[in-house]
Amino acid sequence: MGIIPVSVFSDADKNAYHTIWTDESVHIGGSKSSESYLRMEKIISAAKEAGAEAIHPGYGFLSENADFIQMVEESGLVFIGPSSKSVRMMGSKTAARELMSKSGVPIVPGTKKGIESVEEAKNEALKIGYPILFKASAGGGGKGLKRVNNEDELADILESAKREAKNAFGDDTVYIEKLIEEPRHIEVQVISDKHGNYAHLFERECSVQRRHQKIVEESPSTFIDQKTRANLTSAAVSAAKACGYVNAGTIEFLVDKNKNFYFLEMNTRLQVEHPVTEWITGIDLVKEQIRIAAGEKLSFAQDELKINGHAIECRIYAEDPANNFLPSTGVINYHKMPQGPGIRVDEGIDTGSNVSVYYDPMLSKLSCWSRNREGSIAKIRTALQNYIISGVRTNISLLIWVLNHSAFNSGMYDINFIEKEYLKYSLTEETSQPGEIHKIIAALSREAAKLPINGKNGKIQNEWELLKYD
Ligand code: MV4
């Protein structure tokens, strides 16, 4: 686009990929995110100092912080994203439910206001039917959920739900939703400009997750037929219109066994999994975001879009599958990314990179496109087998396990897939007994990387790497 990007960096990111490879980078403080990436005023002064016109918040950190967005708006800079007003509105889950139900978007049966008393909660729960969930109005993304199975346990759980909501979000408002059993998590990408044009870019299936952390996403979803897709996407566009949304956003839905769908929440940012949507639509979402922020119109009309082929994304985390998926830190002593037609790697590491304890353990996003789902699965599995990240443990073995699983291949899975199936198949034994071959591979890797042995015993830490050398 001819735009010169400037990044910001913390102490820990002095030699990080983004710090080195952006045209310019401004230091904003200490390693802890509370001393740098979460410091609103430092980011705004960095932008001014660099002579930037606009701020792209990425995902995480301040990307959905309405106060930050308002500060950007008031500073005269442009925020590449929605208005603080839309973000604030969608930040309150009760307000969002109220707005959605007024706009004809289906919501999960439950209350649209905070619960005031145990009596009220019991009455509502009786109307809805057990089991129910208490959810924090200021919560979201898996935080502040409490299941209630029957009336006897309701009072105690309400009290703890309120207490935890107060502690986590500074707001003790909780509301009730009926628990949807074995649902799928399906979201719709929406986008709109400042001229009132709205579009959706179809759905993403995000049910493959562990402890609210998504690991595999795909588009289209095998579960969504044409009629459901038409209803789901039109509900998503209504949701975006209802809050006067501008720029890229995502409407999350729960979809039950009978394909009933319910609005869950809106993510008022670009999401990690946006590449799968870019693959199947051919639209560059970040480019579109920047154009929109600059006041331009959407570069396409809804009827120009169609789902082309099938895309899958795998998130690669520095986590140890043999040790309860605890974050794994260290220096990457060897790194080689897969490549080929229809393969994309979005990553922020290289040989020599330090993976610290300070930030999210996501190292890379591998995504693939093929004409159909079968081809896409085959391609991304091969790509994972040809992805070498040595020096820290990664979840690559778990990802390959998912791609080989019959439930994943048949498309018949829900949000409980990993928890249910992974217990039956633990990788602990394999990964904790590396054997001789690891030493040989490690030596080869070090040779190739011309780097000293790192602090993690110099072992290749991913047993799938063995497959390539066997
Ligand atoms: C639910 C639900 C079942 N019924 N709401 C978790 C994340 C947060 N955004 C909402 N979540 C859920 N809400 C009702 N009424 C199940 C979940 C849920 C979930 C949703 C999406 C993806 C993964 C999940 C894992 C556990 C629970």
DSSP string for 266-328: EE-S--TTHHHHHHHH---HHHHHHHHHTTPPPSS-GGG----SEEEEEEEE-EEGGGTTEE-
Last residue of a domain, one of 159, 178, 197: 178
Single out the residue of 371, 90, 447, 133 nearest to residue 239, CA to CA.
90
pTM of the model: 0.90
Give the structural domain span for 28.
6-87
Determine, yes or no, domain membership for 213: yes
**Which pLDDT belongs to residue 425?**
61
Here the CATH number for the domain that contains residue 388 is: 3.30.470.20
Cα(107) to ligand 1 centroid in Å equals: 13
188 three-class SS: strand
Specify whether 269 is catalytic. yes
**Which pLDDT belongs to residue 456?**
39
Domains held by the chain: number = 4
Burial (Cβ within 10 Å: 0-12, 13-18, ≥19) of residue 177: buried
**Which pLDDT belongs to residue 321?**
81
Q: Whose C-alpha lies nearest to ligand 1, atom 21?
A: 185
Instruction: Give the pair of three-digit tokens for residue 180.
Output: 């949807």
Q: One digit per residue, pLDDT tens: the chain, 470 residues?
A: 999 999 999 999 999 999 999 999 999 999 999 999 999 999 999 999 999 999 999 999 999 999 999 999 999 999 999 999 999 999 999 999 999 999 999 999 999 999 999 999 999 999 999 999 999 999 877 777 999 999 999 999 999 999 999 999 999 999 999 999 999 999 999 999 999 999 999 999 999 999 999 999 999 999 999 999 999 999 999 999 999 999 999 999 999 999 999 999 999 999 999 999 999 999 999 999 999 999 999 999 999 999 999 999 999 999 988 788 899 999 999 999 999 999 999 999 999 999 999 999 999 999 999 999 999 999 999 999 899 999 999 999 899 989 999 999 999 999 999 988 877 665 443 443 344 444 445 545 444 444 333 333 444 444 444 444 33
Whether residue 149 contacts residue 193, with contact meaning beta carbons closer than 8 Å, is answered with no
**Alpha carbon of residue 240 to chain centroid:** 19
Q: What is the mean pLDDT of the chain?
A: 90
pLDDT 10s digits, 57-79: 999 999 999 999 999 999 999 99
* Together in a domain, 410 and 446: no
* Together in a domain, 323 and 450: no
Rg, Å, the chain Cα set: 23
**Which pLDDT belongs to residue 142?**
72
> CA 252 to CA 364: how far, in whole Å?
23
Determine, yes or no, domain membership for 100: no
**Which pLDDT belongs to residue 426?**
54
Q: Is 192 in the pocket of ligand 1 (CB under 6 A)?
A: no
Atom number of ligand 1 nearest to Cα 415? 23
pLDDT 10s digits, 336-366: 999 999 999 999 999 999 999 999 999 999 9
Single out the residue of 256, 233, 239, 114 nearest to residue 182, CA to CA.
256
**Which pLDDT belongs to residue 140?**
79
Single out the residue of 201, 197, 205, 198 nearest to residue 189, CA to CA.
201
Instruction: Give the pair of three-digit tokens for residue 185.
Output: 């998590």
> CA 226 to CA 109: how far, in whole Å?
25
**Which pLDDT belongs to residue 435?**
45
105 three-class SS: coil
Q: Whose C-alpha lies nearest to ligand 1, atom 20?
A: 185
Single out the residue of 271, 354, 364 nearest to residue 10, CA to CA.
354
Atom number of ligand 1 nearest to Cα 262? 15
**Which pLDDT belongs to residue 278?**
98
Q: Which residues pair with 219 in a beta bridge?
A: 311
Cα(93) to ligand 1 centroid in Å equals: 13
Q: Is 133 in the pocket of ligand 1 (CB under 6 A)?
A: yes
Indicate which residue of 39, 97, 184, 269 is catalytic: 269
Determine, yes or no, domain membership for 93: no
Cα(142) to ligand 1 centroid in Å equals: 7
Determine, yes or no, domain membership for 233: yes
Cα(67) to ligand 1 centroid in Å equals: 26
* Together in a domain, 249 and 161: no
* Together in a domain, 148 and 226: no
Single out the residue of 115, 136, 137 nearest to residue 125, CA to CA.
115
* Together in a domain, 301 and 358: yes
Positive or negative, the CA dihedral 7, 8, 14, 18 is negative
Q: Whose C-alpha lies nearest to ligand 1, atom 17?
A: 142
* Together in a domain, 409 and 338: yes
The position carrying tokens 């591979």 is 441
